Structure 1
């Protein structure tokens, strides 16, 4: 059913729930998990770029470690990926680059006005533009 599953993560509770889903599905189907952390290029100004990117890449490595550990507990092969760019674009590009069959990602589960304040969430954009199936794991606030 699935040979490769992309699991974008940002270390949030929603991402942790998605990691559990991705690793569980991979264990059932024999798929490989591609754990992805995207350093958002829009997070810093030019004068602080190097410091912020270095900090985010270090955080990304820790977050990817958590996905790799979750995969290892289920005897699932996991490849760690760190990319830079606009998160939704990098997730969609990674899905194509790594030949995945499914994207499993977290969502914050915002409703009402909170959804509009956080307009254009990464998960929402991925769901909207992906040509692949996308499974979202929701965590209520």
Structure 2
């Protein structure tokens, strides 16, 4: 099978986001791939109701839900000028479980997540979550590292 045939089989890509720079890099990678393949991009943010909202600088889960909604809305608006079909969703639950369930429910062909260890938000939502996704997903999981902005290149 040629690379083009393989790329053409990607019809839907799921990007799990937590608002980190690494998640932004994952979304950018997904959008580029979607432009090449014609795939739809699903942007999913998970509100982990088992986590103390104070870790995120908010007072309650409802506020965290609203923060996630604004995040997803902003990401979709930013990507809106691209010729890519984008769907967004906010779900509650344990992040890895919710992401895997969403992927199954929507016949996702690939999951793309960001990798970072620098923020508490990322540690909670995409640290151990990424590890579980890589181990348990029935589709390929692409882990995108955060680009270092201050690596000396200008």
1:55 alignment partner in structure 2: 63
Matches within 5 A, 1:1-141: 1=8, 2-44=10-52, 52-108=60-116, 121-139=128-146
The Cα shift of 1:76 comes to: 0.9
With over 3 angstroms needed to count, the CA separation of the structure-2 counterparts of 1:100 and 1:140, relative to structure 1, is same
Number of aligned pairs? 129
Q: TM-score, normalised by structure 1?
A: 0.83
Q: Distance in 1 between matches of 2:108 and 2:30?
A: 12
Contact 2:109 2:140 in 1 (8 A): yes
The Cα shift of 1:140 comes to: 6.4
- Gaps of at least 5 residues in structure 1 are 46-50, 111-116
Q: Distance in 1 between matches of 2:37 and 2:100?
A: 22
With over 3 angstroms needed to count, the CA separation of the structure-2 counterparts of 1:140 and 1:109, relative to structure 1, is farther
With over 3 angstroms needed to count, the CA separation of the structure-2 counterparts of 1:109 and 1:54, relative to structure 1, is closer
The Cα shift of 1:133 comes to: 0.3
Contact 1:106 1:137 in 2 (8 A): yes
Q: TM-score, normalised by structure 2?
A: 0.76
With over 3 angstroms needed to count, the CA separation of the structure-2 counterparts of 1:124 and 1:140, relative to structure 1, is farther
Q: Which runs of 4+ in 1 moved over 2 A?
A: none
2:3 alignment partner in structure 1: none
**What CA RMSD, in Å, does the superposition of the two structures yield over aligned residues?**
2.1
Structure 1, residues 102-129: CA drift from partner, whole Å, max 9, x if none?
Answer: 001111157xxxxxx97x6111111111
